[in-house]
Amino acid sequence: MTALRRLFFFLVGLFLALPLIVVAGVSVNQKQTLAFPPQGFSLSWYGEIFTNSEWRNALIASVTLAALSAALALLVALPLAWFLWRRVAPWANIFRLLGVAPFTLPPVITALGLLTFWATTGFYGQPWTAVISHAIFFVTLPLVTLSLGFSAIDRSLVEAAATMGADDRTIFRTVVMPLILPYVVSGYAFAFVLSLNEYIVAYMTVGFTMETLPIKIFNALRYGYTPTMASVTVLFLAIAAVVFGLVARFGDLPKLLGAMAEDK
Amino acid sequence: MRREPPQRLADYGPLFFPAGMLTVFFVVPFATMIAVSFFQREQGGFYQPAFVLDNYARFLSLFFGRVLGFSLMLAIAVAIACVVIGIPFTYLLSRTARKVQILWLVALLSILSLSEVMIGFAWSTLFSRTAGLTNLFVWLGLMAQPQALTPSFGAVMTAMTYQAFPYTVLVLYPALVRLDPTLTEAARTLGASPVKAFFTVVVPALRNTILATLIMVFIFALGSYLLPQLLGRPQHWTLSVLITDQAIYQSNMPFAAAMAVFLVLVTLGLVGLALYAGRQKEAA
């Protein structure tokens, strides 16, 4: 049985890893060829991301967009999650629903809604519209992690602080914030990584004026092939693995993903 | 501090910014899209405010029916493939050591967050003639010469399963972690083999979770907008691809919006069904 289980895990792992192994192999080709196993070995395609101005600009655009939109998503999610936790206001749950909706619906719908909106208001193509669009699209992630964080707070701690005369503001700063900080960080991390990789919303809002890395790869795919696409893919995968690895290292990943805190 | 209803206006303070943002940048765009779906299309990619049903009437064409049928069929096939592999996988994963679990979860999250463009690119490389799988088959002597495996239905299906699989595992994970281990232990004590215990105890206990997961993955697969385009032929295009195509390349916003509204209705119906299935959990 153990052998059978190992085999099953191995096969699933192989399925998941195979395309990535080939991409990693392709990314170290000496020449600009789509060959696997790679012919020669060169890391120049990784250098290309930073030295070629087109790829570098796309990388800067992606990172800026992800950093700003994740921060904005957090600014929307934090007061909302706090309010839902602090007050008894069942009707306010409609905003929780609105926060989760963009992520539940097929992405093309949010993208098209924002496209018609920005076109109607006349801001279509402005770089900042992508920041707002991504923040709304990914607000679900900090909202879910923060709701989880708030629900894990022991209310007697807050009550103790209130009994000692602390007002809401003081309680938030000295009791609540330290307790939910890990959830704030992981919510930001999830939104950041997903924004970095997002294509359709960015494409429909600023696709004609600005190139993020996923847009750049898609445009490049239509004109042919360059190993830089492979090196960017590996780079992004590495960023995601490092970020989620850190979340797992300093937080409770199984719990964040919905499993109850366990004594395993 | 007791949890209490907001009394003064200031108590609503924290709600202003989030509520405003979500209303202006989600509800209003959504309403704009619905409005545009009734607009009249003009030449050159413009459209005029109007109230016409032309955009919806186009659904009745044979072409649209075929696209819709194909989209639903593809999403169902992907959902079934993912759930069939995902349930035993997640079940076994939830019973491994915590360190191993975390390692897998990090890997699954990393793949899940990978851009659809990159997944499409990775699979088109793996299915290509020069760097693809078939080279391995040639080397093993199974094939005479390497060949391209795209564009094809199989390629679309494989890549979409790849994309949806991590999502499936993460949806199933909480339910399977919480599954009472004594259930299977009891079955094992009574002499059932692990495989038999899995099929006669675990699967029936999770019937509603499985149904809800199937629907969630189905919706997820319905949202795939690039893979059918990158790896398939035009007849493999799905509703999501068609919406993007109409909006960006054909500049027919009203028709794209009408299709999107239709997709929303299908999705909402399914989400309702998934929630209902999930809620039946205790009753079962």
Query: How far apart, in whole angstroms, are the C-alpha atoms of residue B170 and residue A237?
Result: 18
- pLDDT (average), residues B138-149: 79
| Euclidean distance between CA atoms B270 and B96, whole angstroms | 33
Nearest CA in chain A to B164: A16
pLDDT tens column, B59-102: 777 788 888 889 999 999 999 999 999 999 999 998 888 889 99
> How many residues comprise chain B?
284
A133: closest chain B residue by CA: B25
pLDDT at A260: 53
Residue-wise pLDDT tens digits, B228-265: 988 988 888 899 999 988 888 888 888 899 999 988 88
Which residues in chain B are closer than 8 Å to A109, comparing Cβ atoms? 33, 260, 263-264, 267
Task: Specify the DSSP class assigned to residue A40.
Answer: S
CB contact under 8 A, A254 and B177: yes
Chain A residues within an 8 Å CB radius of B108: 16
Q: Bridge partners of B48? A: B40
Position A1 scores a pLDDT of 64
Assess contact for B239 and B259: CB atoms under 8 A.
yes
Paired residues of A99 in beta bridges? none
Q: How much is the average pLDDT of B177-201?
A: 82
User: What pLDDT score does B81 carry?
Assistant: 95
Q: Which residues of A touch B27 (CB under 8 A)?
A: 98
Supply the pLDDT for residue B45.
Answer: 65
**What chain B residue is nearest to A224 in terms of C-alpha separation?**
B121
Q: What part of B 197-216 touches A (C-beta under 8 Å)?
A: none
Task: Output the pLDDT for position B1.
Answer: 54
More confident residue, A257 or A132: A132
Residue B85 is predicted with a pLDDT of 94
Chain A contact present for B46, CB below 8 A: no
A14 versus B194: which is more confidently predicted?
A14
CA-based torsion, A238, A181, B25, A209: positive or negative: negative
Q: With CB atoms and an 8 Å threshold, state whether A109 touches B25.
A: no
Q: How far is A223 from chain B (nearest CA, A)?
A: 13
CB-CB under 8 Å, B173 with A95: no
B284: confidence class by pLDDT, cuts 50, 70, 90? very low
Contact status, residue A203 vs residue A218, Cβ threshold 8 Å: yes
**Mean pLDDT value across residues A33-48:** 81
For residues A212 and B149, which has the higher predicted lDDT (pLDDT)?
Answer: A212
For chain A, domains (ranges, CATH) are 17-51+227-258 (no CATH), 56-224 (1.10.3720.10)
The pLDDT-based confidence of B281 (bands split at 50, 70, 90) is: low
**Who wins on pLDDT, A130 or B248?**
A130
Mean pLDDT of A127-140: 94
Q: What pTM, to 2 d.p., does this model score? A: 0.88
Q: Which residues in chain B have Cβ-Cβ distances shorter than 8 Å to A115? A: 247, 253
ipTM of this predicted structure: 0.87
Q: Give the per-residue pLDDT at A176.
A: 87
DSSP state at residue A174: I
Indicate which of B46, B90, B118 best probes the interface with A, i.e. most A CBs within 10 Å of its own CB. B118
Provide, as residue numbers in chain B, all residues whose Cβ is less than 8 Å from the Cβ of A77: 18
pLDDT of residue B151: 84
Cis omega (within 30 of 0) for bond into B228: no
Q: Which residue has the higher pLDDT, B162 or B192?
A: B162
Using alpha carbons, list the distances in angstroms from residue A36 to A19, A65, A218.
11, 34, 21
- Average pLDDT of the segment spanning B190-203: 82
Smallest CA–CA separation between B62 and chain A, in Å? 23
Q: What is the mean pLDDT of residues A238-242?
A: 93
Q: Which of A224-233, B125-134, B237-246 has the lowest mean pLDDT?
A: B125-134
Residues B132, A8: C-beta atoms closer than 8 Å: no
Confidence at residue A224, expressed as pLDDT on a 0 to 100 scale: 76
Set of chain A residues whose Cβ sits within 8 Å of the Cβ of B72:
none
pLDDT of A229 above 50? yes
A174: pLDDT strictly greater than 80: yes
The pLDDT, as a whole number, for residue B174 is 87
- Which of B18, B131, B263 comes nearest A36 by C-beta? B131
Q: What is the mean pLDDT of chain B?
A: 85
Segment A76-88 shows an average pLDDT of: 90
Q: How far apart are CA A28 and CA A37, in angstroms?
A: 10
- CATH numbers and ranges of domains, chain B: 61-279 (1.10.3720.10)
A104-128 mean pLDDT: 90
* Closest residue in chain B to residue A201, using alpha carbons only: B244
Percent of chain B with pLDDT over 70: 96
Residue A206 reports pLDDT greater than 80: yes
Q: Residue B48: helix, strand or coil by DSSP?
A: strand
Which pLDDT score, from 0 to 100, does residue A261 have? 42
Residues of A in Cβ contact (< 8 Å) with B119: 19
**CA B52 to CA B39: how far, in whole Å?**
6
pLDDT, mean of residues A161-170: 86
pLDDT for B2 equals: 64
* pLDDT for residue B44: 64
Whole-angstrom Cα distance, residue B158 to residue A15?
Answer: 10
In a 3-state reduction of DSSP, which class is residue B206?
coil
Using a CB–CB cutoff of 8 Å, tell me whether B89 touches chain A: yes
